[in-house]
Amino acid sequence: MSRTIRFVAVVAFVGATLGLTVMTLDAQGTALLTNGARIRVTLNSTPRRALVGTFDALSEDTLHLRVTRESPSRTPVFDILGIPLTGIEALEVSRGRHSKAGRGALIGLGVGAGLGVLAGAAGGCDVNAEPTTGDRAACAAVGALGLGLTGAGLGALIGALSSSDEWVTVPLSSLGPAPVTPPGTTVSHQF
């Protein structure tokens, strides 16, 4: 195996590994249900319905969700909906809107490198000369590198134009009533 092919293989492996590591660390994050947090509530209804709004309050048996709707005069109107906890199938908290540039770059790198290997191995670098086995391998590596980087750039550009909320599930068991503390009592928690 030539040095160029090994280099391209190592770069592709490291890029894929780093991408998977970042996605795994994001998936392990925890969500906090705080006042003003953007949340998505999936209801126990048929058909399933999801409401997106801002967390307002939590009482003993009701979650209060602030939602925005447009009035007939096209001005935003804020409503607070009281949703019984027994009517909630799932609750998620947004960790913010995120671009998909990194994912697009990884997909573009993989597709571009794959096409580059195929094109380089099939066509060779010099169309006027008879390709040898070593030439085909080198051309495949050059094609993988060239088209891989091009694909990564295009994928990152396309991914940057697309963004979405990253939702983290909140266990419904954590929605029980808040503990009541007598006046003058301090409650602390340490990790």
Give the chain's count of helices (H) and strands (E): 3, 6
Q: Domains in the chain, please, with CATH?
A: 1-30+100-164 (no CATH), 32-98 (2.30.30.520)
Q: Identify the DSSP state of 39.
A: E
Over its length of 191 residues, how does the chain's per-residue pLDDT go in tens digits? 566 566 555 555 655 554 443 333 333 333 467 888 899 999 988 788 889 999 998 888 899 999 988 778 888 888 889 999 989 999 999 988 878 888 888 999 999 888 888 888 777 666 555 656 567 788 888 888 888 899 889 988 988 888 788 888 888 887 765 444 444 544 444 54
The residue ranges of DSSP E strands in 17-149, in sequence order, are 38-43, 49-58, 62-70, 76-84, 88-99
Long-range contacts of 179-183 (CB under 8 A, 24+ apart): none
Read off the pTM. 0.49
